[in-house]
Chain A
Amino acid sequence: MAAADARPQAVHSGSIWRWLLAVTLALALAEPLVTGHTSGYAQRIIILAGINIVLAVSLNLVNGITGQFSIGHAGFMAIGAYVSAAITVFGGLALEQWAASGHLDPARPVLNLFLVGQPGLGVQLRAQVWFAFALLSGGAAAALAGVLVGLPTLRLRGDYLAIATLGFGEIVRVILLNLDVVGGASGFTGTQPFNKLPSYTNFFNTYLCAAVTVFAITALGRSTRGRALVAIRDDEVAAEAVGIDTIRFKVGAFALSAFFAGVAGGLLAHYLSVIIPTPTMFGFMRSIEIIAMVVLGGTGSTTGAVLAAIVLTVLPERLRDLDQWRMVLYAEVLIVMMLVRRQGLLGRAELTDASWRRLGEWLRGGRRGGGLKRTLGTWRDALRQRFFVVGMAPLTGWVALGLWCLPILDLLIFLPALGEMLTRALNAKPAAWLAYAGLPPRMFAADVVSALTSLVPAGLKAVPIFAALAPQIKLPLEANPGLSLAVLPLALPWAALCTRLARGDKRALLWLGGLLLLATWHALGNLAGGMHGGRVLVETVVALLALAGLATQLGARRRLPAGEEAR
């Protein structure tokens, strides 16, 4: 080969430290700008975006880089939140009392750092040291949970792993729900009234955590260990064959990812000052949110995860007055991405200086890229193929087509909402046509779904045995028309369709997206009858998913020997 090829791969030294230093300085400079010149509302979005960056980037380590499809990230987050909150609430107080009672010498330098009430160092600084300790402990607890979850789920792949991790997340939530020390179902705000959950989280420490997360995972990716994770994603059998202990690495990835999720949970807890184990804060819904960020950004791309975390924090916040539509946004992200660009916006690529050049090249149809026109063409073809679900029996084909219309129809309705939102964001008056196009069809579609799903309980009631059983097993036949069982007739064909269209985690994503859509629509349709149905419904969907997962698990008992693939 040419001599120029002999040593082309120079390894650059630890630029990461310089970056971290630069970012810290930049954050310190930006802090007064952010806190001084923006509204409280904008600050809230900025901080939530920072927390979401930590979550998305850390989940991407497992889902994107290691290729293990986990959707229980909110569970780790919850553990971190509660552990760190418990430490700042109980720990600070206990240490203070202990020192006051003369058992500890407050003059000892390390201890002194933690005694918030003592004179000397600034109270603020002490609080932050204490907070850092709490965050690290929360992260460590979450990492421990990560190992515990990682180990048993190693045998599972794709959607099976998804179900198992989902189950873990829900278990954590339910445990917290019943843990009275930390407030149980009414949430944890500290021990009233003297020792509240402190709001330590600010712009600086949030983004410092985000920066550390990004840097740690980037550094990992530039080392043999990070590449070992990529190898596991790309071919587990071959990875083992080159000496990568897949068990250790997978569990390690789970633990590290959980650690950062725990830290993010701690940040959130000390930002909100009240934590409640609801699905939206620490449960299924939150996990979906984070998944949507990873899927949108590109599974495997850290910069993609960062960008998607920002976009998917800002957009729904702007959609606040259309609150129920938040979930539709996530569902749309999942489904549309699975339809048109499964690898996410950035795929595995990272956004670097070179990317912009390549983007220009690609747009012009240069060397590698197909050019915008050709790309649109391939997308169109792909869509065409996926719509007219090729090779299905006529009936399934029609059902499939019908089901595909749901997200598309929904997108059509959703787009005007998006338009509305954008015009509002620009402080412009919504154009008349937007207001018109937005509302009526939205309600209409919701009504249709709701009507459809409501038919089922009525039908069930007609079957005597169900009618008789209903009070015993609390089948919600009348009280909440269209609960659990109602989603079934729509959810099942959807699941069947997903099974045919995609495999593994892609299938799980399609599945989740579809169910989420149905659930949200249904909840919207029930709007008149009281919104509480929506929450119960989502929980039911989760239960259904778990059931379906269990069924598939039982079906998959026939264990393939590991070597089936090693040929």
Chain B
Amino acid sequence: MALLSLRGISQRFGGLLAVSEVSLDVEPGSIVGVIGPNGAGKTTLFNCITGVYDPTEGEIWFDEHRVDGLRTSELARRGVARTFQNIRLFRGCTVFDNVRIAGHLHAGYGLLAALTQVPAWRRGEQRVADRTMALLDRFGLAAQRDELGTSLPYGDQRRLEMARALATEPKLLLLDEPAAGMNPTEKVELMGQIRRLRDDFDLTILLIEHDMKVVMGICERILVLDHGEPIALGTPPEVRADPAVIRAYLGE
């Protein structure tokens, strides 16, 4: 049974069909790439999956429940986490707090405990703090934990966003162009890291990337979008050989 299943998703903005009839099954534990040129509708597809938009048509099933139309926060609660193409850190929060905030789902104490600061509060806070530190360690950000998140170098900000997404303990992680702004060797290195993340955290990953070559190595399957249309879906070799893909990438 697929963890995530898109059934004929379309998203229309006025006259523009940003995503058109996309269907996709994502098996648990797999890494699926979504590629396509700028403006192909990749981010829009992510926004549909995370409940930012209620898709104009189609159904989304996650973990055997229909989820289209649910709020983003509800989806996050159920295990869908994401990063943003244009990094969206909590401005004015430290590196530590950026991740700690996202750990709120697993603190295990209520409002009353918070206001009265009973032991349940202290234990919950300690648990969240410990897990936050573990994540920061994992992403090599522990030393910068008291700095402002937005003051980090670009690459660290991207990693911080990933750490933040993981703090919600997701089943499905959506990465929107995590390799943006990196050079080819850095990109390859990042892909290795993403694969290890999948293994260590039992994740299923959906990954947007611009550059087909980069994702060939780690994705089990690749979905190619062009002008919102799914023009190819298959294993990397299949996609690479697909005439429609070659036309979209090399044509014009």
Contact = CB atoms under 8 A, between A and B. Distances in A.
Please say whether chains A and B are actual partners in one complex. Answer: yes
Interface of A: 1-2, 5-17, 216, 219-220, 222-228, 230-231, 233-235, 237-247, 348, 561-563, 566-567
Given A5-B133, A9-B96, A563-B47, 4 more contacts: A223-B111, A230-B90, A235-B91, A243-B168
A223 B96 CA distance: 14
B101 A17 contact: no
Interface stretch (B24-32, B118-126, B221-229, B244-252): B118-126
B104 A17 contact: no
Interface string B147-169: 00000000000000000110110
B117 A219 contact: yes
Interface in B74-108: 74, 76-77, 81-82, 84-86, 88-93, 96-97, 100-105, 107
Interface residues of B, number: 61
Contacts of A225: 104, 111, 114
A15 B122 CA distance: 11
Q: Which of B72, B93, B103, B126 has the most CB of A within 10 A?
A: B72
Given A225-B111, A230-B90, A235-B88, A240 B137 contact: no
B132 interface: yes
A17 B119 CA distance: 12
B84 A567 contact: yes
Contacts of A563: 44, 47, 52-53
B142 interface: yes
B129 interface: yes
Contacts of A13: 117, 119, 122
A2 B137 CA distance: 10
A58 B91 CA distance: 23
Nearest to B46: A566
A14 B84 CA distance: 37
Contacts of B84: 237-238, 241, 566-567
A563 B72 CA distance: 11
A5 B137 contact: yes
Nearest to B47: A563
Contact of A561 (B13, B73, B107, B125): B13
21 contacts: A7-B133, A9-B130, A10-B129, A11-B126, A13-B119, A216-B115, A223-B114, A224-B103, A224-B114, A228-B104, A231-B90, A234-B91, A234-B93, A240-B76, A241-B72, A241-B82, A241-B88, A242-B167, A243-B73, A244-B101, A245-B73
Contacts of B109: 223-224
Given A14-B118, A14-B121, A1 B142 contact: yes
A5 B146 CA distance: 11
A378 to B, nearest CB: 18
A11 B88 CA distance: 27
A559 B47 CA distance: 18
Given A5-B143, A238-B84, A224 B73 contact: no
Interface string B2-36: 00000000000100000000000000000000000
Mostly, the B contact residues are: helix
Contacts of A224: 101, 103-104, 107, 109, 114, 124-125, 128
Contacts of A348: 92
B114 A219 contact: yes
Interface of B: 13, 43-44, 47, 50, 52-53, 71-74, 76-77, 81-82, 84-86, 88-93, 96-97, 100-105, 107, 109, 111, 114-119, 121-122, 124-126, 128-130, 132-133, 137, 140, 142-143, 145, 164-165, 167-168, 176
A7 B137 CA distance: 11
B144 to A, nearest CB: 10
Contact of A14 (B91, B116, B168): B116
B168 A242 contact: yes
Contacts of B71: 240, 245, 247
A221 B40 CA distance: 42
Given A2-B143, A224-B128, A240-B72, A234 B92 contact: yes
A230 B142 contact: no
B129 A227 contact: no
A244 B132 CA distance: 17
Contact of A241 (B13, B81, B96, B114): B81
Nearest to B86: A567
A245 B70 CA distance: 11
B84 to A, nearest CB: 7
B172 to A, nearest CB: 13
B73 A237 contact: no
A220 B85 contact: no
A246 B74 CA distance: 11
A227 B104 contact: yes
Contact of A237 (B44, B88, B143): B88
A227 B101 contact: yes
Nearest to A215: B115
Contacts of A220: 114-115
A43 B105 CA distance: 47
Most buried by B among A8, A240, A242: A242
B81 A242 contact: yes
B36 to A, nearest CB: 15
